[in-house]
Amino acid sequence: MVQTCAFKNTTTLIIAVALFGSSVLLAGLPAYAADWSDTSISWRYGSKFAEPYETNDISKNIFALTHVSGYKYGINFFNLDMLMSDSKDPSNAHSTDGAQEAYVVYRNTLDLGKITGSDFKFSVVKDVGATFGFDWNAKTDAGYNSKKRMLVLGPTLMFDVPGFLNVSLLALWESNAPCNTYSATCVSRYRYKTHPMLTAAWGIPIGASAFSFEGFMNYIASKGTDEFGATTKPETNFDGQIMADIGKLSGGPKDSFKLGLEYQYWKNKFGNDASGPAGSGAFAKTPMVRAEYHF
């Protein structure tokens, strides 16, 4: 259903909702004492971001809060990104201000070996788990104003490597309720076809050096037709970083401050056909610089 909607500057609302949501999420994590935890704040910047139906390279500053912890039965992961675009990705049809977005990811991986006391190790796999969680976002931009909600669930294999490498096959239940400031209309919440995602996440030290290879890769199958009736395409989203532990390089505290380079390759972004009307904006190839502080 398409309905008329009013627009206003919602930057403050996005920030407030994101911060409130992150506190609720953190408060709602399993009430078990953490065996270990790592919390970080980070910044990354690139000048060649892409958005579907936009033809210009977009610059973005992205600030993030990330928390990972291990507890009695598994691992929690929480990430909040605040993405700030330049004017090439405008906040609305009548503004030269850049769009702003909050994007939250939460995953909980239950370790079946810890839960059952059994050994699930085989070949290069050290354990088997079950992952569940969700994505949530809100964005102010001229053409779409995403309000994504997504639940995920599926099995996970944990590989026996230095650092970690986890591979999951997840079912995705996704919906959105976009608005368009050009036509001043909103679409009622639309639920896509349930679809699978093959996803990997890793953090692997490079030998005994101060460098590591970190990141994730998602292959997301088509989610059927979108809210406008167009057929969606499978997505490939690779995001990898080479990070340097500055403390280890300089003789200071290790695992505290990291600096590095990041690259994102995202074909058919959000399921839009990069060879169709969405154009080159649906195919992001974005180098970035990245800095992290862990505490």
Q: Which helix (H) or strand (E) holds 27?
A: helix 11-27
Task: Give me the mean pLDDT over the 27-38 stretch.
Answer: 71
- Residues 6 or more apart from 58 whose CB is under 8 A from it? 47, 48, 49, 50, 51, 85, 86, 88, 89
Range of 116's domain? 2-294
pLDDT for 293: 97
Report residue 8's pLDDT band, with 50, 70 and 90 as the boundaries: very low
d(CA 269, CA 181): 21
d(CA 244, CA 261): 9
pLDDT for 81: 98
Report residue 12's pLDDT band, with 50, 70 and 90 as the boundaries: low
- Residues 6 or more apart from 276 whose CB is under 8 A from it? 230, 282
**Order of strands, sheet of 2-4, starting from the edge strand that comes earlier in the sequence:** 2-4, 185-187, 179-180
d(CA 64, CA 260): 15
pLDDT for 29: 52
pLDDT digits (tens, 9 = 90+) for 183-223: 777 889 999 999 999 999 999 999 999 999 999 999 999 99
Burial class (CB in 10 A: 0-12, 13-18, 19+), 234: middle
Report residue 11's pLDDT band, with 50, 70 and 90 as the boundaries: low
By DSSP bridging, strand 190-191 and strand 179-180 are unpaired
Q: What is the pTM of this model?
A: 0.89
Task: Give me the mean pLDDT over the 106-130 stretch.
Answer: 95
**Percent share of the chain, pLDDT over 90:** 78
Contact status, residue 281 vs residue 266, Cβ threshold 8 Å? no
How many C-beta atoms surround the C-beta of residue 196 within 10 A?
14
Assign residue 127 the CATH number of its domain.
Answer: 2.40.230.20
Q: Is the pLDDT of residue 96 over 90?
A: no
How many C-beta atoms surround the C-beta of residue 68 within 10 A?
18
pLDDT digits (tens, 9 = 90+) for 52-73: 988 889 999 999 999 999 999 9
Contact status, residue 233 vs residue 271, Cβ threshold 8 Å? yes
97's tokens: 């201000």
Q: Which helix (H) or strand (E) holds 21?
A: helix 11-27
pLDDT digits (tens, 9 = 90+) for 250-263: 988 899 999 999 99
Find the radius of gyration of the CA atoms of the chain: 20
Burial class (CB in 10 A: 0-12, 13-18, 19+), 109: buried
Contact status, residue 201 vs residue 159, Cβ threshold 8 Å? no
Q: Is the pLDDT of residue 7 over 50?
A: no
Report residue 4's pLDDT band, with 50, 70 and 90 as the boundaries: very low
Q: Domain tally for the chain?
A: 1
